[in-house]
Structure 1
Amino acid sequence: MYGQMGIDTTTPRGALDINKSVTNTSGLVIPTNSDMDNIINPQGGNVAVGTIIYDSTLDCIRFYKLNGWSRCVSDRKGRPPVLRMAQWAVPAGMPFNSQLTDTNNYGTSGTYNKVSGIQITNITSTLSNMTADELLSNFDMICTGWNGSNLPAADAAKIKEYVDRGGVALLLFDRNVGTGLLQAFGGNGTVGSGAVIARSTNDVVNNGIFGDVRDIALSGADTAGRILMSQLPAGARLLATEATNNAGGWIAGADGRAIFFWDEGVFRASVTGAIDTPQERFIHNVIAYALDKTGL
């Protein structure tokens, strides 16, 4: 049967019109499930874009998009969403995380007020078992840290796919660590051993909502990676230089949604309490750029 369908009406105003000539006393009850992985397309293949479901676990309505299930359709009109950040091998207790979750920094009345807050989830032990679809459905941004070894090539490729399909990634390297991610995003060669001292560039990102921190000294911690300018993918934007002639921080990936640093220690060195030092303001200008790229 083709055409429009009307229930309690002979003049449907759309593909499906559920109405009476008098005020309805019953509402529409949409399909309900506790796990979006249970939802299928009866014709086979992916769930159809536009599919709507009531998620009984999250107590909200969600719909299927090109890149997976949406976040909850909020009933808090006018309130910005909470940014969902996944972290791999980032120490849970580091002061940087406290600055991220402080609503004076990131909240409706904070310095960055396009989100209601930032929610952090540790995926160090689960990333390898997650698909790019699951990452996109559950997280707006991913931050990788350092645990003494390179991220497996399959996981690096997964993060590249995540960024290609709309996710944002903050990728932190260290001495001899980060090669898989460098190459996954179009860089060449390997990450070597460099100095912990760097300097910010005059890129517009460094003159952001947290202040003007162009051309300032930056410090990593302990050991650091080294990436030559010639190793960067075409079109990369420099945020910082290490030892004058090497890449310290840079932006690459689809629509500039991947941000890299030569040393994860830049997010630890002299980072504590309020955002009140040039290095802290530099870091959070970068985070503000990344949050803008999520499109929330």
Structure 2
Amino acid sequence: MSNINLIIEERPRNIGNFMVGRLLPFQSKRMVGPFIFIDHMGPAKMTAEENMDVPPHPHIGLSTLTYLFEGSVMHKDSLGTEIEIKPGQVNWMTAGKGIVHSERTPEYQRHGEKSLHGLQIWVALPKELEEMECSFYHADEEELPHWTENQIAFKLVAGAFAGKTSPVPVHSPLYFIELKSEIAQQVSLGDHLYGESGLYILEGAVNAEGERFGPRQLLVAKDSKLCTFEMEAGTTVYIFGGEPLPEDRLIYWNFVATDHEHIDHAKAMWQAQAFEPVPGETDFVPLPPEPSNLRIK
């Protein structure tokens, strides 16, 4: 019996002045473990006249994980954080009861050619932590656990896996792992995975159950304990997942919550510009005029 429950192709989405490939949520699979939203940014080449500019916007009820392969993004938030994220580093921002942030091309890159490529991820908070205080954590690449096993280069970006733990302060049992292989070989990870699992192919190809899968595809396993596949030479994949949250989730724009009251409060707060602002920034992303609630499980 096949262990591939679902194959998800990236769908193009416009996030303002930048196109991304959306992976989650998907119509028939809204979450994988606590992972509720994944966008693949790029790879994009930008001219001197083109820059990434996402003005201040709010979040509640989630943690964001930004992980870049190429380029650079300047992150600023309402806590006063101002930090540039570069390839291999991790930005982990926990919104809790509410945070505001902006994401832009750094000033020193704005007047020349540049590239951008990476993942933007949301992880839903457990119900009891929905209104926790917001926080921000940045990890340099060398802080993340990395090792080689059977000629596969592993990097644990977030969570716990195979007896190792990332320093990124996650709020529920989860994992986000990078695997790189320069040779073709079989991979079996079921002994170390738990909860629900997804496998995203960044480059190269994966062979499983007689089929070949390539870049921009997300495979969702029926049973994470049966996670076995072949990586072709020159392949990079990301495996993510963890224990599912017991309650349904609502998504409205950038807000994630277990009930409508939290969503409605956040909407009213943003319309009144009552969130703590990002220091030094005056523009903002307005609340969408007619967004729809989307129940997630």
For normalisation by structure 1, the TM-score amounts to 0.29
Relative contact order: is structure 1 or structure 2 higher (C-alpha 8 Å, sep ≥ 6)? 2
For normalisation by structure 2, the TM-score amounts to 0.29
More strand by share: 2
Q: Which is higher, the Rg of structure 1 or of structure 2?
A: 1
More helix by share: 1
